[in-house]
Amino acid sequence: MVDRENGIPYYRQLMSSIQQQIEAGFYKEGQQIPTEMEMSRANQVNRHTIRQAIDELCRIGVLYRLKGKGTFVAKAPLDSIEYQLSTKNRFTENIVKAGKVPSNKIFRAVEMIAPTVVKEALALGADESVYCIHVLRFVNGKAFLLSQVFLPAKYFPGLFDRITDFQTLSLLIEQYGINPRRVKSTLRASFPSQEEALALEIPSNMPVIKVENILKSQDDILIEYNLSCYRGDLAKLSIAW
């Protein structure tokens, strides 16, 4: 209940109350908080005031919204992580170097005719197929980076039969005798798509860094195209060639 006599704006009081409940463990990380209507009734203030408090808590990273699902408690913030883009460095190496714990989750893998942008990047023929693999990467258990990886099917026979046997995609690629090296990276600031926002557990208005990478094998063959979406609040990218 808000104090109507102390002169502090109601939405500020509500912000403080919600934060105190989170700190006390009443609401856990990832837990959904009550709806605006429920909070309006409980605190006897209008929904506009509730929304103002929630908007501000989302802005500072205490809460986050998922479209059509509700508002949830954000995970405790990580310090920004310097992530180096170089010819050889990979995700696991970067994160271990930063003193954090990396992990990966492959959540989608399909074979398809190469999209135009992939076809051009990897110099593929009109009807050549690629494996498209979506990998969500975590730092200390928190979503950090979503990658969409394209590999020419002709260089990776039977890949789907082996994909579950490896903790990282890079280890799987090495089993084919290929040691990829990055030859081009293109960076741009953007906002996440709905799928990216859901996977990274961020609001749709939080900036992200999108990086397009082209990699070659040790034999100078174009071997991989990937599009990576980094959380803008966590990633600090540096480039070293």
As a whole number of angstroms, the distance between CA 241 and CA 239 comes to 7
Where in the chain are all domains bearing CATH 3.40.1410.10? 81-239
**Predicted pLDDT of residue 76:** 67
Closest CA to 112 of 84, 148, 76: 148
As a whole number of angstroms, the distance between CA 222 and CA 214 comes to 8
For the chain, how are helix, strand and coil distributed in percent, rounded to 5? Answer: 30, 35, 35
pLDDT tens over the chain, length 241 residues: 678 887 888 998 899 899 889 888 899 988 999 999 999 999 999 999 999 999 989 887 789 998 889 999 987 666 778 888 888 878 888 888 888 888 888 888 999 999 999 999 999 999 999 999 999 999 888 889 999 999 999 999 999 888 875 667 888 888 899 999 999 999 999 999 999 988 998 888 889 999 999 999 999 999 999 999 999 988 889 887 7
Instruction: Return the CATH number of the domain spanning residue range 81-239.
Output: 3.40.1410.10
Looking at CATH, the fold of the domain delimited by 10-73 is given as Arc Repressor Mutant, subunit A (1.10.10)
**Predicted pLDDT of residue 160:** 86
Residues contacting residue 128 through CB under 8 Å, at least 6 positions apart = 113, 114, 119, 152, 153, 154
Dihedrals phi, psi of 198, to nearest 5 degrees: -65, -45
**Predicted pLDDT of residue 49:** 94
